[in-house]
Structure 1
């Protein structure tokens, strides 16, 4: 006798101080991440900055004093705005009061939730676009999502919750997990699974992840040639074919990057190595084969080979900024 088991689809929205991320998880014993999306440069600190900028302008208009170049005053104002932002999650209006903010003059003002939402409307809309994009990458319609789990301190903002509920056609948000502790809980469960500790349920858990950002190398013009696209299931092996771009080029550097921008200067630099022993030849004659191997632990090995001679070199990247020593390094 066979029994059909339905798999629930979860949309996770992680909105932390420094980033906004969304991912879709198809859950059973095996947790299959279908897609990851977001913006590592969008988070709660962006809201704080707009509040601070607004207060600076109000203070300048009221007191005729510009505090933007005074580090101490700006830090005090930033701390006060962070507190006000948290307070506005539970109250429609909150005071911001700082004694002797600058040259002995106090700052006293009131900040409303409506003003906060007005200032950050662009960021809020951007968040919803990222959620929509993530669903598209995972080939999942929003009506097929069973639960929307919100994680991270900024998901407490009423406007963010309202927009998410409206986007998912009124579906209630899952708030049973502590927004501040969820990531820590998940890390602890995964650590227990990897180290063989914990109960049987933890040991049966399997996480099938995807690459959160594209991986590739820099080519002529400073552009990034993607070898492993974003949201590729891991582990994975991808191969790219390249040619020399300069006549009689005998040494070619390979610079590895992570990101979604076409220009490598806007992406994350991971490491570099050189391929030597290329036979002198006109541009485009010598063919180079580049292989990216990404394992289940996120460890990336990048190798390059001269097709005509078999000369090789490689680098292993454990994580951003932590590199193995290239084989030709002396």
Structure 2
């Protein structure tokens, strides 16, 4: 059977998975038939759980229920936004080994997880949903991210996919995925300027593209990673907290369990207000046996969020400016994301474009995952004629450059440059007989390099001695169609060269850390699933039972890894499987295989 790949929309609030088969996209439901899964992970006595049921656990075990992790992935602990999240969210965000981590109590121990690990648990759940629904193993996927994500956040998302046991074919902009979905349903050949307005739970993304005979040329992207539906929910929460304080002379803002219950109620009220003019919030014994109730009108909701709603248009204006397109030249406005169903958002957007009707031909909640599934099919050479000629020409979302001798940022790739692209500039030494040249890569728009995001560095060495300014050093930035960057430098005289490949350079994790997390991920899966297998007691399971279970839940243990485990279990000599063969065939998966086997044996 031909290898297939899935598309995954890893959302702030909900995640979705889909596959393109038989000339159409199929949204894959979870075990309960739902077309989306809450992006929450709960750590309980029975293991770690990813499901919609987790939401109800969030106010019972607030410190052990993790949500909104998409807003943490790829960020530094000292990021200004983190302080606000630490105060507002019930679980513990900590600094561990100079990195942002999440602390929970799990299996009677304090456990530390990276945002990548938490995200990988959600991705693994999406992968398992697909495998159960399709009845086959899945190992390849396209993941989506907001256009506002930095290179570090994109690579961190890719790392999460690897930890989940996926071969990540591409990390794709959410708006580009939505454009691909729109293009699959609209076959008109006329060139148009289409604006995608994607307002989800955690971020705002805007993209302008032009479709032409299957080709999608993205002209610009703009985004705000701190503006989404959860920020609107937060405003309702503030209103409720103040109302409770006025009525009862009590401040509940420091009670994490009360806040979690309030957050769930406010989320429901926000959704209700997209359809009805009034929403009721009623919570029994919110704090110290004090009940709470309030009616929130749509008008009041619009008032408390007025500044946030208006700020969405700033991002729209930025996208128009970068695309060099006037708003009267926009032919279609495509709505994507659950928060675009807020009536006030729709009116502001329509009024901005002089009363233009908004296009809702694509399901706003599923457009991104549909596009990701189509891209996954394209990248795995699906033979469907409907997508044969489909191609997205995306853009670089942020400027990229290097630090010069005076500390300035020398832009090598400008924002919204069409990719793939290659840019080369010539530099030289600043001192006589200088034999090394440091290349420090940054991302951002500030004129001083140090005020931008540092991505990585390398050194070109063995430059032949010469007066300063004489050596000719060519630095090249090469970005492929998937947005992966390779930076190289070459001395034109000696031919010496060096490079930094961001495809193989992980964001915040080393190869060993990813191996460990991959192993831990499967351990947690084993601990969660073994007690429920055929309702048998754990001590009744043999090592062979559980090893077969591992092989079944993770395709990374197919083929030679499967043989390796079985022969290890049977106690046979590994005559055919020398370490060299294992290294070649399994790579870093050898370590996890042995560690997981030991874990199983210790559980017996």
Give the shorter-chain TM-score range.
Answer: 0.7 to 0.9
Change (3 A) 1:286 1:185: same
Among candidates 262, 281, 304, match of residue 119 of structure 1: 304
Matched, 1:22 2:206: yes
Q: Which moved more, 1:172-181 or 1:299-308?
A: 299-308
Deviations 1:220-265 (A, max 9, x none): 7876443211110111111244556789876555443334455667
Change (3 A) 1:185 1:140: same
Change (3 A) 1:177 1:253: same
Q: How does 1:271-310 map to 2 (within 5 A)?
A: 271-277=456-462, 288-306=473-491, 309-310=494-495
Matched, 1:200 2:385: yes
SS in 2 for 1:91: coil
Deviations 1:255-280 (A, max 9, x none): 43334455667755433333344578
**2:507 maps to what in 1?**
321
Q: Which moved more, 1:26-35 or 1:51-60?
A: 51-60
SS in 2 for 1:8: coil
**2:195 maps to what in 1?**
11
Aligned partners of 1:271 and 1:321 also within 8 Å: no
More strand by share: 1
Change (3 A) 1:42 1:283: farther
Aligned partners of 1:218 and 1:257 also within 8 Å: yes
| Distance across 2 between alignment mates of 1:113 and 1:245 | 63
Matched, 1:160 2:377: no
| Distance across 2 between alignment mates of 1:285 and 1:107 | 75
Change (3 A) 1:68 1:278: farther
Aligned partners of 1:315 and 1:324 also within 8 Å: no
Matched, 1:32 2:202: no
Deviations 1:195-228 (A, max 9, x none): 1115212011122111122222345787644321
The alpha carbon displacement at 1:26 in A equals 0.7
The alpha carbon displacement at 1:128 in A equals 0.8
Matched, 1:312 2:497: yes
The alpha carbon displacement at 1:6 in A equals 2.7
Superposition TM-score, scaled by structure 2 size: 0.49
Change (3 A) 1:156 1:261: farther
**1:328 maps to what in 2?**
none
Among candidates 274, 277, 285, match of residue 92 of structure 1: 277
Aligned partners of 1:150 and 1:173 also within 8 Å: yes
**2:354 maps to what in 1?**
169
Change (3 A) 1:51 1:290: farther
Change (3 A) 1:320 1:187: farther
Structure 1 portions without partners, runs of 5+: 326-330
| Distance across 2 between alignment mates of 1:294 and 1:324 | 23
| Distance across 2 between alignment mates of 1:238 and 1:92 | 54
| Distance across 1 between alignment mates of 2:348 and 2:439 | 44
How many residues align? The count is: 321
More helix by share: 2
SS in 2 for 1:68: coil
**2:399 maps to what in 1?**
214
Change (3 A) 1:118 1:197: same
The alpha carbon displacement at 1:20 in A equals 0.7
| Distance across 1 between alignment mates of 2:423 and 2:242 | 52
Q: Which moved more, 1:245-254 or 1:198-207?
A: 245-254
| Distance across 1 between alignment mates of 2:327 and 2:415 | 21
Change (3 A) 1:265 1:78: farther
Change (3 A) 1:232 1:324: farther
Aligned partners of 1:317 and 1:323 also within 8 Å: no
Q: Which moved more, 1:154-163 or 1:36-45?
A: 36-45
Name the Cα RMSD after superposition. Answer: 2.9
The alpha carbon displacement at 1:140 in A equals 1.5
| Distance across 2 between alignment mates of 1:263 and 1:61 | 48
Change (3 A) 1:184 1:266: farther
Matched, 1:105 2:290: yes
**2:244 maps to what in 1?**
59
Deviations 1:54-111 (A, max 9, x none): 2222222221111222221122212221111111111112111222222222221121
SS in 2 for 1:201: coil
Aligned partners of 1:255 and 1:271 also within 8 Å: yes
| Distance across 2 between alignment mates of 1:55 and 1:140 | 42
Among candidates 308, 316, 328, match of residue 143 of structure 1: 328
Structure 2 portions without partners, runs of 5+: 1-188, 512-604
| Distance across 2 between alignment mates of 1:123 and 1:220 | 41
Q: Which moved more, 1:301-310 or 1:114-123?
A: 301-310
Aligned partners of 1:315 and 1:323 also within 8 Å: no
| Distance across 2 between alignment mates of 1:273 and 1:32 | 33
**1:82 maps to what in 2?**
267
Flag as ranges the 4+ runs of structure 1 deviating above 2 A: 216-226, 239-290, 304-312, 322-325
**2:371 maps to what in 1?**
186
